[in-house]
Amino acid sequence: MAAINAVTDLSVEDGIAVLTLNSPPVNALSAGVRDGLALGVGQALADPAVKAVVLICEGRTFIAGADITEFGGAQKGASLFEVQTAIEDCSKPVIAAIHGTALGGGLEVALTCHYRVAVPSAKCGLPEVNLGLLPGAGGTQRLPRIVGAQKAMEMMTSGQHVPAKQCLAMGLVDELVEEGKLRDGALAFARKIVAEGRPLKRVRDLNDKVEADRAHPEVFDAFRKANARKFRGFLAPEYNIRCIEAAVNLPFDEGLQVERKLFMELMSGYQSAAQRYSFFAERQAAKIPDVPDDTPLIPVETVGVLGAGTMGGGIAMNFANAGIPVTIVEVKQDALDRGLSTIRKNYERTAQRGGLTAEQVEQRMSLIKGSLDMNDFATVDLVVEAVFERMDIKKDIFTKLDAICKDGAILATNTSALNIDEIASVTKRPEAVIGLHFFSPANVMKLLEIVRADHTSKPVIATSMKLAKKIGKIAALVGVCPGFVGNRILAQRQREANKLVLEGAMPWDVDRVLYDFGFPMGPFAMSDLAGLDIGWVKEKSKGETLRDVLCEMDRRGQKTGAGFYDYDENRNAKPSPVTEKIIKDFIEKSGANPRQISDEEILERCIYPMINEGAKILEEGKAIRASDIDVVWQNGYGWPVYRGGPMWWGDHIGLDKVLAKMKEFEAKMGEQFKPSPLLERLVAEGKKFSDLKA
């Protein structure tokens, strides 16, 4: 084998050249990889002994895409376009041999090869949409030529990774080869096509599919309409669709020009910058500066969950989904039965939608065991407590868990607000106590706030972070403070939303502004959905708040057909004249003058205090980095992905602007708008949150 450069080798076996890439971790198309590919194909072409070329990768995957870290920098080495032209125009067949994932630019390179073979476990996809982009290396023009416009739209607007078997059925892959024997299989395939004298198959020349699609222009608008809700606010899905329309309606080279123009527009916009940032933010969040990668892990083979309510049940499902047996303990049989039956119903609903087979439902249920006896936690490796949010109850439970659980077991609480140091203080092993704050519905929501208490040990933190990944969560490590990171910031937004309503804005005005910003719903619609009476006690209610009055009138949200909004039988919300009158009475009683509040003020009042609170959290060391706060808000609170997160958004709009407004609000409305010293300092130094080191 001869080295072409540091990341590429070329060897020739029986007339077949094997061009091997080895650029960990994911063989992304860095300058070195592009150079290696261009040179390697050139050498193979020049060697008269070579009859065909196999392109294969070492390590965990085929090329997983362009090197995202290079985006925005000056182009070095061969361009991707040059590489693709060298492959596509090569007069000897080039075969892509795929394992792991062929994604983005990786699949686009494979699409310029004349044939593609893959192992059954491989997957192919064009996930650029998730980075706010489109496949800008001909993918938008080549993919529809193989799979047709409809399938191309589905793949490119979802970014899904399509399993090799389906790729074979669609013609995206020409042959599957035996798992673990990719090299031999690809070489055999290459020999076969040489022996058969098969012609070079250039995807750009295939026109049957796009010509057939040209007769059905209606598919594009139908697709847009069917996905309008999902695509709301995002630019990239629409741009991907426009490129596919171009593939169908224009000659290949003109389609490429449309692709280039739209790609550049997306690449220079803020949405893609935010989405690329988010990609790295999620991965960064897994890294804890003082908990090194080689920190010993505690094996977690069995889990206990205390509480079979909505939260406990959802938490248990996460572990069962990952094949980890769970024991759920409840106090009363009927509560346990109800909890287990809700879990079963959830699984069955997924099965009805085609997400699970009946057998898988039974398999998961068989991993969940119900019990009324906490002593059944004696052998588990981790217990997650998910009961009432009351300190006395939690302390009692942790005293018992400490006595029951084996040495080395992790004792976790799902509290969303209580002081975990105080909970840990009742045990003889505070180092084993940690917060695992799941979000409701816990089997669906991706975020896991992992809360490190004063004495939590490094192995317990490292194990929790690893376990989060295993159960499909995105974890952020935070510190103990009221509401931790997510709810602490939420409280700022909620306070301002409530105040705005008492100054003259209507709940639906506030909701509309936040919805238009990109949140799935505003705070008042959210309260109606969750139920206004959560934490409300009838006997103690004195009609002092808007919520008190609404609850006293039995307007408790969607479930009672009315809350802040009125609801029809299909739960469609309408602004409520009743609520409006209550609000007006409230304002009148307070002696205030209602005023017209602009959408701009609503947005700034809701968002800027969140950014400011994030700065305080950073200052206090309750989050490791600004991007961790953004990970929390994107994955747990519906912050629009294309706006990065509150901290990224602050950087984007300018911290000086945020600071100036906070000062203006502070002067008019007081203390709660006091800018954090960190915000002041960053502005004084001309810096951003992203300049802060973890």
Q: Is residue 128 a contact point for ligand TC6 (CB under 6 A)?
A: yes
Residue 289: name the closest of 25, 628, 677 by CA: 628
For residue 172, how many other CB atoms are within 10 A of its CB?
A: 24
Residue range at the interface with ligand TC6 (CB under 6 A); choices 127-135, 451-459, 597-605, 652-660 = 127-135
Q: Is residue 69 a contact point for ligand TC6 (CB under 6 A)?
A: yes
Asked if 154 and 184 touch (Cβ cutoff 8 Å), the reply is no
Token pair belonging to 462: 């490292």
Q: Is residue 121 a contact point for ligand TC6 (CB under 6 A)?
A: no
Which residue from 10, 28, 147, 679 is in contact with ligand TC6, where contact means CB under 6 A? Answer: 28
- C-beta closer to ligand TC6: residue 106 or 557: 106
H or E, element range at 366: helix 358-366
The reply to whether 88 belongs to the active site is no
Q: Is residue 23 a contact point for ligand TC6 (CB under 6 A)?
A: no
Enumerate the β-bridge partners of residue 567.
573
- C-beta closer to ligand TC6: residue 282 or 511: 282
Residue range at the interface with ligand TC6 (CB under 6 A); choices 25-33, 189-197, 240-248, 511-519 = 25-33
Which residue from 20, 23, 84, 101 is in contact with ligand TC6, where contact means CB under 6 A? Answer: 101
Q: What would the DSSP string read from start to end of 423-444?
A: HHTTSS-GGGEEEEEE-SSTTT
Which residue from 7, 18, 26, 361 is in contact with ligand TC6, where contact means CB under 6 A? Answer: 26
Buried-exposed string 494-515: b where 16+ CB fall within 10 A, e elsewhere: bebbbebbebbbbbbbbbbbbb
Helix, coil or strand: residue 382: strand
- C-beta closer to ligand TC6: residue 68 or 426: 68
- Helix then strand count (H, E) for the chain reads 28, 20
Residues 6+ apart with CB under 8 A from 570: none
Q: Is residue 104 a contact point for ligand TC6 (CB under 6 A)?
A: yes
Single out the catalytic residue among 88, 108, 245, 259: 108
User: What is the nearest approach in angstroms of ligand TC6 to the Cβ of residue 276?
Assistant: 9
Integer Cα distance of 418 and 387 in angstroms = 12
User: What is the nearest approach in angstroms of ligand TC6 to the Cβ of residue 474?
Assistant: 11
Residue 170: name the closest of 193, 188, 190, 144 by CA: 144
Which residue from 127, 132, 312, 609 is in contact with ligand TC6, where contact means CB under 6 A? Answer: 127
Integer Cα distance of 452 and 460 in angstroms = 9
| Number of residues lying near ligand TC6 (CB under 6 A) | 24
Residue 376's identity, in one-letter code, is D
Residue range at the interface with ligand TC6 (CB under 6 A); choices 101-109, 387-395, 445-453, 653-661 = 101-109
Of 71-100, binders to ligand TC6 (CB under 6 A) are 80
The 435-454 contact track toward ligand TC6, x by CB under 6 A, reads: --------------------
The reply to whether 218 belongs to the active site is no
Residue 656: name the closest of 625, 626, 687 by CA: 687
Residue range at the interface with ligand TC6 (CB under 6 A); choices 131-139, 391-399, 501-509, 648-656 = 131-139
Q: Is residue 155 a contact point for ligand TC6 (CB under 6 A)?
A: no
Q: Is residue 103 a contact point for ligand TC6 (CB under 6 A)?
A: yes
Asked if 642 and 649 touch (Cβ cutoff 8 Å), the reply is no
Of 251-290, binders to ligand TC6 (CB under 6 A) are 280, 283
Asked if 21 and 47 touch (Cβ cutoff 8 Å), the reply is no
Q: Is residue 655 a contact point for ligand TC6 (CB under 6 A)?
A: no
Site residues (vs ligand TC6, CB under 6 A): 25-26, 28, 61, 64-69, 80, 101, 103-105, 127-128, 131, 133, 135-137, 280, 283
Catalytic residues: 108, 128
